[in-house]
Structure 1
Amino acid sequence: MSSLFDQPADDGPGGPAVDPGAPLAVRMRPRSLDEVVGQQHLLGPRAPLRRLVEGDEPMSLVLHGPPGTGKTTLAHVVSLATKRQFVQLSALDAGVKEVRAVITAAKRELTYAGRRTVLFIDEVHRFSKTQQDSLLSAVEDRIVSLVAATTENPFFSVVSPLLSRSLVLSLQPLADDDVRALLHRALTSERGLDGAVTLAPEAEEHLVRIAGGDGRKALTALESGAGAARSAGGTVIDLATLETAVAQAAVRYDRQGDQHYDVASALIKSVRGSDVDAALHYLARMVEAGEDPRFIARRLVISASEDVGMADPTALQTAVAAAQAVALIGMPEGHFPLAHAVVHLATAPKSNAVTVAIGESVADVRAGLAGPVPPGLRDAHYAGARKLGHGTTYRYPHDSPEGIVPQQYPPDALVGRDYYRPTSRGAEGPIAARLGKLRAILRRRGA
């Protein structure tokens, strides 16, 4: 299970002071690894993060995961657990100058106080290559322990030298039960709402749903609902109050990041799997996120041939028509023909026989299985071609009552090889029956 926060921790003395005016998500931030639960692949007894923290080893980490899964929290916990100086920069407003200033201060702290510095850089993917390169020597010499957070795939957004000097850890979205535990903790903790309000069951379910695995979003929505309840003179956050305070869940989809590819992949795989409802969901996410409709249309055109193929030859026509319609009318109305295409493709019979056929034929060509074109098929229109024997043995199919005659079409090395093997699904059933007859005639002995 992927969660972030445990049941209420001791809020007694000894913990860091909490600003009562800080956002609820900040006030409820765990203070130690023991308060952080879930992410067991990182925090279990023998997991890498726990070993690094409890061993107080010099370390640099790249924390990768969706918003609200605890990247900033883990950075603070690392600093507190290891008793190191903690410095935070945001890649949105920090540059090489600020990075060098932190490194200079870290050198001084290490030299005179013997204390290492944890440098936390949020949204490190927004740093340019030059800015990331400015960290290399300090990380290499362990002057700072870098904890870099990113919502992007670090193997695409972080320079290789920095990755090679860091441990890359991936965080997962919170599970629903863990979001509930987080809400219960915030409702009762002295650092949170301290029992001032209660949460109705249906409102809790709505909060869990709109959080979408994002702990920060859940706490922010809870705080807003609590404020609305108090303003109305009540102590219960019911569904109506919560819906007033929280209009809707924000679409978690950065179309410039790797989620762009994740959601697109989910759309096509749902179409391939014939789950029309899931496919429409992912289409809606892409549309609401402002995805380029031409990108969506291109993926659907590809899917029509790759996944539906000859099981329903009209699927490609629908996908192409949707692409043309989107280009003609634009958005937002363009989402109608896109939905039309998604429904057609998802509910159509599926066959990848065309995909397999062209894949195998290309593989044979690349493997050198080509050979000369049979003489009867060679161009015989130029002067001297007949003297070379080009076209002299060619038999014209239309002269046959059946429109097909036995003769060799492939090169010698590929005679008898079947690339296209139609399924029995949809329109490919009749094609399969006819194809067997065609091949029997074409390959008749003595052809």
Structure 2
Amino acid sequence: MEFKISREFLSEIEQLISENKSQELLLLLEDIHFADIAEIMEELDDYGAAYIFNTLDSEKTAEILLELDEEVREKILKNLSPKEIAEELDELSTDDAADIIAELPQHKKEQVISELEDVEHAKDIVDLLRYDEDSAGGLMGKELVKVNENWNVLTCVKEMRAQAENVSKVHSIYVVDDEERLKGRLSLKDLLTTSTKTPISQVYIKKVDYVKVDTKDVEVARIMQKYDLEAIPVVDELGRLVGRITIDDIIDVIKEEADKDYQLAAGISQDVEADDSILELTKARLPWLVLALFGGFISVHVLGIFEPIMDLHPELFFFTPLIAAMAGNVGVQSSAIIVQGLANNTIIGPVIERLLKELSLSLLNGVILSVILLAGSYFLLGYEIHVGYTVAIALLSVIIMASLIGTFIPIILNKYGIDPALATGPFITTSNDILGILTYFTIAKIILGI
């Protein structure tokens, strides 16, 4: 059952902290997962969070560090000496340790690295720090199990036992040559059912999915998702095996990318969270709101151009919000489907085919909605039939136009290396509002003969 933090439970912890009852606090937190303890610490003040951190042993606090919000983790690390931080990092895998060190000021990074007890561990962390954080090299860990293609099964098993001591989860066994170049992977079943004297070169699987150190993290996520991989090896420029990326690292990438795309689609120009400062939230939201405001000015101007039509047929004005809303909604629907397809790499074939498909879909939806609108305007609202025809035809035209724009713009943005998520939200909504109103009154002017 998922752990839930209650107000009563927090009050009990705060009481134990205020009374300095560390042993009772340890007993209370003994069976609670480190991720839940991190949530508890985020609910407490700085003193309470630091008290819990200092009370627990480093084996548990090292894992807690990874789960803490960046702001809370920064405050915790700020109060620790380089030696204390190094003790925490000694408990972590190389990729997690490198992520935490990367957040430290430069002078403190060097001090922490010099305090690491395990020299090999320190060398691996330093190696990882030279890669961009959004690349496969920045994601990978050094812990893995590898065997030489020239070994036999017996030697292989002995070496695997020694290597596995430093690996928390053995997802795959990789095969390399004498130059450490990745050659393939080894099936545990084949290893267990083969004679101990059989050379590994005769039983390993030569086909293996891998990525290079400079492969972008989102591309790594796409490959692992497509082939349903729990781990993937990473090779350098010479094809040498240098690390592996596990599914837990990729889940974080997928979540961050989804959060970013969602915020872009909602008109937020940078990565923010609900508890960020008012200034940071304003900087992220204001640019798109300004764009929407200017779009509103243009819409008002377009309405002014067609003022003579509204003087003769004022009933047209009451359908304006409906036309604008339908244009925005259809555009966002179309662009959202395309953006999702581009993110999952499922958009294939020529652009014209995609546009023709969207045209057919919008035509079908438009006809159905236009018929409903025509019937509603005549039988429910009591407007003259020619007004209903005008609005219905305008609605059909606007739906087709908005659908094509919502499809075309994300594809074009993606083609030129711009995040297609920018196409959704305020951008599509505002542009379709303007074009929808313009299309609506232009058709009204033509049909009504004004």
TMscore range, shorter length: under 0.3
Answer 1 or 2: which has greater helix percent.
Answer: 2
Using structure 1 for the length normalisation, give the TM-score. Answer: 0.25
TM-score (ref. length: structure 2) = 0.25
